[in-house]
Amino acid sequence: MRRFNLAVLAALSLTTALTAVPARAAGDAPRPLGLDHCTATACHFDVPPGTYDVQVLLGGDAASRTGLGGETRRSLLPETAVAAGERAARSFTVNVRTPEGEPTGPAGTPGLDLTIGGGAPALADIRVTPARHARRLFLVGDSTVCDQPGDPYSGWGQQLPQYLRKGLSVANYADSGESTVSYLQNPQLWATVEPLIRPGDLVLVQLAHNDKTTDAATYRANLETLVDGVRARGGEPVLVTPIVRRWFNSDGTLNNGTALLVNGLGVDHPAVIRSVAAAEGVPLIDLTAKTKALVESLGVEGSKALYLSNEKRDNTHTSVHGATVYAGLVRDELLAQHLVPAGLVRAEG
């Protein structure tokens, strides 16, 4: 009986999606956008910048495995397996903005673009509606966090959305090459993000990789400025220590300087971030400690897959796999520190 009911629901949903939308009376809620905006591999919804809830029904006559991405290579829904003849409902909330990727990058395609992927994709229905009460998770960071525009690169912020359910969106304003100094100075960055913050929003800050010439006092003051700015808008700041660089000592441990983000002036960036978090009473996600433990446990060879060591001889930037693993570490900390409700977090991914 359950399978029959789900099949009927899918058929009714598909019929509704393909039905022309009638004119609506003034004051009526907008009708959801559906499958008539999709091809076999992608969907495009002509919507203005904002936050949108996406509800999907996955599955078909044959066994399927479907995942959804969108905008600038964001992972929005992990690959989901559905048995033949069954249907599985999933939902998430997505941030649509211009530029759609890095704040200093190209504008991208207007509207919301989704890609339909997975080993055997089957999208039975989709609904896109404006999100009414969604909380937002802003990301302030550098190239290890940002929505990277091209393979094989990926920032952990690009992979984080797949771990979140409907009701919480990721607004990734991380940008390649930025330090605390440049992020505060560039009008496309902090001056753009700060006015967008609303009470209840989370703002995760990971800036350190490019503060190579920033002295300790300036670095600390810049972090305090970001924290104060978030709080002034009613948001909740969260300081994140940077992911490690994959530089090993001969004994299999990570280098205390390059790998662990100590700059040429002797500034230990993670230590300063920890100090500011403690002094200001700000939640801390110690991603340096967590990625250090993981990279060292995998060893010289095993840790290569997390980075672009083989593809680009790059031991700073992560692969899609590495970014996904690191996003999972962030997800775990958001839960462990009760920064987001468990009901808004997806365990799989």
pLDDT the model gives residue 133: 87
Amino acid 169 reads S
Are 219 and 263 in contact by the 8 Å Cβ rule? The answer is: no
pLDDT value, residue 9: 33
Would you tell me how many other CB atoms lie within 10 Å of the CB of residue 183?
Answer: 26
Question: How far apart, in whole angstroms, are the C-alpha atoms of residue 116 and residue 54?
Answer: 13
Cα separation, 339 vs 73, whole angstroms: 26
Beta-bridge partner residues of 45: 112
C-alpha–C-alpha distance, residues 154 and 165, integer Å: 21
Lowest mean pLDDT among 12-16, 87-91, 275-279: 12-16
| Domains of the chain, each with CATH number or no CATH | 1-9+33-132 (2.60.120.260), 133-349 (3.40.50.1110)
Among residues 96, 94, 59, which one has the least CA distance to residue 166?
94
Question: Per-residue pLDDT tens for 265-313?
Answer: 999 999 999 999 999 999 999 999 999 999 999 999 999 999 999 999 9
Q: Does residue 272 contact residue 280 with C-beta atoms inside 8 Å?
A: no
Sheet of strand 74-82, all strands in order from the earlier edge strand to the far edge: 42-45, 112-120, 64-70, 74-82
Residues 160-181 have pLDDT tens digits of: 999 999 999 999 999 999 999 9
Helices (H), the chain: 2-17, 156-159, 180-185, 190-193, 216-232, 269-280, 287-302, 309-312, 320-336
- Tell me the per-residue pLDDT of 120-170, one tens digit each, with 9 for 90 and over: 999 999 999 999 989 999 999 999 999 999 999 999 999 999 999 999 999
**pTM given for the model:** 0.90
Query: What percentage of the chain reaches a pLDDT higher than 90?
Result: 89
Q: Do 34 and 17 touch, CB atoms closer than 8 A?
A: yes
pLDDT at 307: 98
The reported pLDDT for the residue numbered 347 is 80
pLDDT of 247: 97
Tokens of residue 134, six digits: 């969604």
Q: What is the pLDDT of residues 186-200, one digit of tens each?
A: 999 999 999 999 999
CA distance 319 to 326: 10
> What residues contact residue 80 under an 8 Å CB cut-off, 6+ apart?
58, 65, 66, 67, 88, 90, 118, 348
